[in-house]
Amino acid sequence: MATSEDYSVITQEELEELKESISTQDLPSAVDTIKHFLDQQDRVELNIAVMGESGSGKSTFINAFRGLGDDDEDSAETGEVETTKEPKAYKHPKYKNMKLWDLPGIGTLNFKADEYLKHVQFERYDFFIIITSDRFRECHADLVKEIKRTKKNFYFIRSKIDVSIDAAKRRQGKNFDEKKTLDNIREDCVNGLREIGVEDPVVFLISGRDLNKYDFNSLHERMETELPEHKRHVLMLTVPNITTEIIERKKKSLEKNISSVGLLSAAVAALPVPGLSVAVDIALIVNKIQKYKTAFGLDDESLQKISERSGKSVEFLKSVMKSVVREEITTASIILLLKQSSLYVAEEAVERVLSFIPIIGSVLAAGLSFVAVSYMLKKILNEIAEDGRNVHLASM
Ligand SMILES: Nc1nc2c(ncn2[C@@H]2O[C@H](COP(=O)(O)OP(=O)(O)O)[C@@H](O)[C@H]2O)c(=O)[nH]1
Ligand SMILES: [Mg+2]
């Protein structure tokens, strides 16, 4: 059986603490404690700083990264001349703990790079994004030298790639080669950065209009690998479902988290409180299904938005969905689901019988519960991710 050391999402200490507090509670409060713990996991803060000159495409990128268009509620104003001198936070519409910070245009404050970083409170950010829509200049290089001293990560973005591609198409006509054009732009940016003293720069080509194209996926993948584990989860949860690759990576990330839920279930099952194990398992599963539904954009609000953007009706989008989230999730529907899973029925019977012999019984039930809950959740996650993928394809 897996041990909690394998999973940094839940520590042995947290597990013990939870067990301790649950063992003294009545059933409803125990279930609440578990729900609260699970919600906390998704509330790790992630703060991303976006910097660049005015007009470079910061606001457009900030909106796209949060899955918003320019005209959506809560979206950042684009095409505005920047007047603010303070960083402004833009929250993710569904995960308020994830914020993108629009930093005052570099150059507008007449600060040196170190003063600038102090002014924008650099400690606050997990990493920095530096955007330009043409070439990188001294001001960008100075900033990077200072950021390096803070030991934080940074990423270079060359924005408005769609504009460059259109221009190349017009210029080159029949000889247009997209890959070659992109390689040239990337090489120009990298060489430019080297010339102003940045060692081994990596530049990502992005269009805020078509975030699903060009280098967005590799940028996001790189950010993910360079973040600490508990922050990675938030980065993956909040990424818009704009390509099948991203949907697949999101699924993998959520799958890793399942083991901790299984462990939780096992820990609870080991407590000699009749009925607790099943009640907690149901609460755990309902909680996770709701989260998967939101993560893959299958909640009503998201479907409505996809429908408006794609011109496909909500009914049509729903018609490609097959998983449990097509209907409303209730405790009753989950119990039905559990009953259909032979694994679980076996466990329930075992649990009832063995609870008369507390010590051996609880150990056995714990093992079974871990397997059953993990198995169930993996199966459900796969089905919901598949729905996410099908809705994404149907909206194109
Ligand atoms: N075609 C295209 N236009 C963009 C892109 N990013 C920004 N823009 C446009 O460029 C202008 C400045 O963008 P904005 O996001 O406001 O830049 P900011 O001043 O850095 O926040 C706006 O008119 C945007 O619509 C992009 O990737 N593609
Ligand atoms: Mg702006």
Mean pLDDT of the region 194-212: 95
Do 133 and 196 fall into the same domain? yes
Find the 57 Cα to ligand 2 centroid distance in Å.
7
pLDDT for 7 equals 36
Mean pLDDT of the region 110-135: 94
Within 13 Å and on the Cβ side, how many CA atoms surround 299?
10
Query: Within its chain, how far is the Cα of 106 from the centroid?
Result: 28
pLDDT(275) > 70: no
Q: Which of 190, 214, 238 delimits the end of a domain?
A: 238
Do 81 and 182 fall into the same domain? yes
Residue to mutate (ligand 1; options 53, 58, 59, 78; most atoms within 8 A of CB): 78
pLDDT(361) > 70: no
Find the 66 Cα to ligand 2 centroid distance in Å.
15
Q: Which of 238, 267, 293 delimits the end of a domain?
A: 238
Do 140 and 171 fall into the same domain? yes
pLDDT for 286 equals 86
Do 34 and 77 fall into the same domain? no
Find the 64 Cα to ligand 1 centroid distance in Å.
11
Q: Which of 205, 238, 271 delimits the end of a domain?
A: 238
Q: Which residues contact 368 (CB under 8 A, 6 or more apart)?
A: 269, 346, 347, 350, 351
- Please tell me the number of the ligand nearest to residue 51's CA: 1
Residue 148: give its domain's CATH number: 3.40.50.300
Kindly state the percentage of the chain with pLDDT values over 70.
87
Do 189 and 267 fall into the same domain? no
Find the 309 Cα to ligand 2 centroid distance in Å.
23
- Please tell me the number of the ligand nearest to residue 213's CA: 1
List, chain by chain if needed, residues with CB within 6 Å of any ligand 1 atom.
52, 54-60, 78-80, 82, 159-160, 162-163, 207-209
Kindly state the percentage of the chain with pLDDT values over 90.
59
Q: Provide the pLDDT confidence category of residue 2 given band limits of 50, 70 and 90.
A: very low
Residue 145 near residue 154 (C-beta atoms within 8 A)? no
Find the 102 Cα to ligand 2 centroid distance in Å.
7
Residue to mutate (ligand 1; options 51, 56, 59, 60; most atoms within 8 A of CB): 60
**How many other C-beta atoms can be found within 10 angstroms of the C-beta atom of residue 359?**
10
Average pLDDT, the chain: 86
Q: How far apart are CA 181 and CA 172, in angstroms?
A: 10
- Please tell me the number of the ligand nearest to residue 133's CA: 1
Do 64 and 180 fall into the same domain? yes
pLDDT for 9 equals 52
Mean pLDDT of the region 343-370: 50
pLDDT(347) > 70: no
pLDDT digits (tens, 9 = 90+) for 158-193: 999 999 999 999 999 999 999 999 999 999 999 999
pLDDT(133) > 80: yes
| Shortest-distance Cα residue to atom 4 of ligand 1 | 160
pLDDT digits (tens, 9 = 90+) for 219-250: 999 999 999 988 998 999 999 999 999 999 99
Do 146 and 273 fall into the same domain? no
Do 105 and 157 fall into the same domain? yes
**How many other C-beta atoms can be found within 10 angstroms of the C-beta atom of residue 184?**
13
Q: Domain containing 284: what range? A: 4-41+243-394
Do 253 and 146 fall into the same domain? no
